[in-house]
Homo-oligomer: A and B are copies of this chain.
Amino acid sequence: MPPIVSIVGKSNAGKTTLLERLVPELKARGYRIGTIKHVHDFEIDHEGKDSWRHKQAGAHTVAISSPKKVALVKDVETEETLNSLATKYFQDVDIVLAEGYKQEDKPKIEVFRSQVHETPLCKGDEHLVALVTDAGLELGVPRFELDDIKGLAGFVEQRFLVKSSRVIR
């Protein structure tokens, strides 16, 4: 199972924006990246498309397969944990970056923007491994400026990727 790191933060702190910048930086360093987004509900497919019609008809699992990618929509009885998702679907990536999942006991990187919130989410959280912020806040973990994507990527690489062997491909 690849290492899993959660990008956490309060609503509108900038989690997706950070992921959007961190993924290409890690990819440029040669790693294959997986991401997991936690939501309460979603509609992913487009109404009227064949695969959408399959799911609407009551299929438990629907896959769309093309020469370049595969998509899957599958019913679950209870929400999958990060470990379960990583084991089932992410064996072929080097690292999984999750967005949200602040309740799980995975290493967490918090995004905290003092312009948006008064206090960070993970103060005192033993799983917090880094803070990305515009505030001069000290939480006892490495701190990165919002724009210091290379610094953050270097930290992630050193801490979670260098010691693990890359996926053989």
Whether A117 sits at the interface, judged by CB under 8 Å, is no
| A69 proximal to B (CB < 8 A) | yes
User: Considering only CB atoms, which chain B residue lies closest to A32 in the complex?
Assistant: B60
Instruction: Kindly state the separation between the CA atoms of A67 and B78 in the bound complex, as whole angstroms.
Output: 6
Nearest CB in chain B to that of A26: its residue? B58
Is A37's CB under 8 angstroms from B51's CB?
yes
B44 touches A71 (CB 8 A): yes
Give every chain B residue within 8 A of A23 (Cβ-Cβ).
54, 57-59
Check: A24 CB closer than 8 A to any chain B CB: yes
How many monomers of this chain does the complex have? 2
Give the residue name and chain of the B residue nearest to A62 (CB). B35
Cβ < 8 Å to B, chain A residues 65-111: 65-76, 78-80, 85, 89-90, 92-93, 97, 99
Q: Do A50 and B85 touch (CB < 8 A)? A: no
A35-B59, A59-B33 are known contacts. Are A80 and B65 too (CB-CB below 8 A)? yes
A-B pairs, 9 with minimum CB distance: A23-B57, A35-B54, A34-B61, A72-B72, A67-B79, A20-B57, A35-B59, A16-B50, A44-B71
Q: Can you list 13 pairs linking A and B with CB atoms under 8 Å apart?
A: A19-B54, A21-B57, A33-B58, A34-B59, A35-B62, A36-B64, A37-B50, A37-B62, A40-B67, A67-B78, A70-B80, A71-B71, A71-B73
Q: State the A residues within 8 Å of B (CB).
A: 16, 19-21, 23-24, 27, 32-46, 50-51, 53-54, 56-76, 78-80, 85, 89-90, 92-93, 97, 99
